[in-house]
Amino acid sequence: MSILIGQILQQETDFNVIIQTLFSLAFIIYLVYAQKLQSLQMLNQIEATLRRLKKIRDEARGVTLNTINEVGKPGVDVSNKVDRILEFISIPLTDMDPYGIVDKLDQYLKVNHNIFEAEVKAIAPNASEIERQNLENLVGLTFELNYIYKAMRHNYLMGKKTMNIYIILQVHMILPLIMQLVESLTVGIQATREGIPIGDSVGPIVAGRLMKDYPKRDISKEMVSAEVPFDGRTLIVMKAKGPGGTVGTPDEAIINILNEKEGKVKIIIMIDAAGKMEGEPVGAVSEGVGAAIGGTGKEKFKIEEIATKFKIPVHAIAIKQGQEHVMAPLVEELAEGAEKAGESVKRIIMDYSGPGDTVIVAGIGNTIGVGQ
């Protein structure tokens, strides 16, 4: 066929001249407008994603409103109040003088949390504490989705307004990553609405299994601990107080225990969910040293500081998972991983402490759907 077309085009006909002119014209147009065409193509793709993002954001808002009406029974229309929470701003701290920044961050986060808690309480006055904590998580997810949508829309409109390929290109490049993040947030909506344990709950599951048969006491805000005898040692096991969705205040809990025991603790073991590398299986357990805790870094700093003060080694147990698992309902591999991590805790205690020693075991993470 190509030979035939070639033969036809080789013939000196008017048609051949027309075709050649058209091709030359198309080539010149492409040379001049290639960048513009590419920009338009990228803008179209961003727009399609943005439309989907808007749909997700609106659906999440709808689910949040329905859940608030269902469990909080506010009796009045709270959609305006919900929208006000979704537009809430947290002005970041200035770090021009980094001295004392951790305490400032601590105070800032507490104020943020308290205001958020009060706002949710106001729109869901009849929700129980557990329901309120889960609602806080749900509103938090919708807040994040709303923020991502607005940021993406801003960048899209900036690109469209300026038609600057470099602005458009930057947005276009991160588009798949943004959608991955959005998907990892949307899978958390069912979990937070129904109180289902999530990937981040593996730490509290490990701690809860150790402490479930022993008396518990509140040790700091939204944190519980229990003294568990184990082969001649005393384990002080702690986790966020479940089954409501909270991460508690593990740094304050560890500080309180260490001050109470005057630093007479042999080791601290921290169990947390950790990001896996691509190719690593979900639920794989890794052991190591250091404070196994994510978040803003404030808790990590405080735990490291107190552990250094009393010269206590900190052991870490990480249960590996992808970003898509962190907020999604717990998968079976992670439930098995939590069991494996429990065995690791026992082995570390046997290897690094002796009879009569006290060991702190902290299950770090969101305790939604996990009791104690």
Partner 1 sequence: MKTNSQGGSPPPVTSINASRVNLVIIVIIGILSLASLYLGFKSFTEDQITAYIYILIGALGFAAIGYMLFRGGRPSSQTKQDIPQVDILTTLECPKCNLRRVREFKKGDYIFKNDEACTRCDGNMIISRIHKKKDPEKEKKQNFIE
**φ, ψ for residue 241 (rounded to 5)?**
-75, 115
- Nearest-approach distance from CB 338 to partner 1, in angstroms: 9
Q: Are strands 233-240 and 267-275 parallel, antiparallel or unpaired?
A: unpaired
| Residues paired with 360 in a beta bridge | 236, 268
Q: Is 262 left (phi over 0), alpha (psi -120 to 50) or beta?
A: left
**φ, ψ for residue 323 (rounded to 5)?**
-60, -30
Of 62 and 263, nearer to partner 1 (C-beta) is 62
Rounded CA gap, 143 and 145, in Å? Answer: 6
- Nearest-approach distance from CB 206 to partner 1, in angstroms: 11
Of 143 and 349, nearer to partner 1 (C-beta) is 143
- Nearest-approach distance from CB 94 to partner 1, in angstroms: 24
Of 273 and 359, nearer to partner 1 (C-beta) is 273
- Nearest-approach distance from CB 277 to partner 1, in angstroms: 4
Of 59 and 304, nearer to partner 1 (C-beta) is 59
Of 183 and 305, nearer to partner 1 (C-beta) is 183
Of 232 and 295, nearer to partner 1 (C-beta) is 295
Query: Residues 274, 326: contact at Cβ < 8 Å?
Result: no
Helix or strand run (H / E) with residue 24: helix 14-67
R_g (Cα) of the chain, nearest Å: 28
- Nearest-approach distance from CB 86 to partner 1, in angstroms: 14
- Nearest-approach distance from CB 319 to partner 1, in angstroms: 9
Give me the half-sphere count of Cα atoms (radius 13 Å) on the Cβ side of residue 181. Answer: 15
- Nearest-approach distance from CB 354 to partner 1, in angstroms: 30
Rounded CA gap, 289 and 175, in Å? Answer: 36
| Structure token pair of residue 303 | 């735990």
Which residues 6+ apart lie within 8 Å of 286 measured at CB? 274, 317, 318, 320
Of 225 and 353, nearer to partner 1 (C-beta) is 225
| Structure token pair of residue 41 | 């193509």
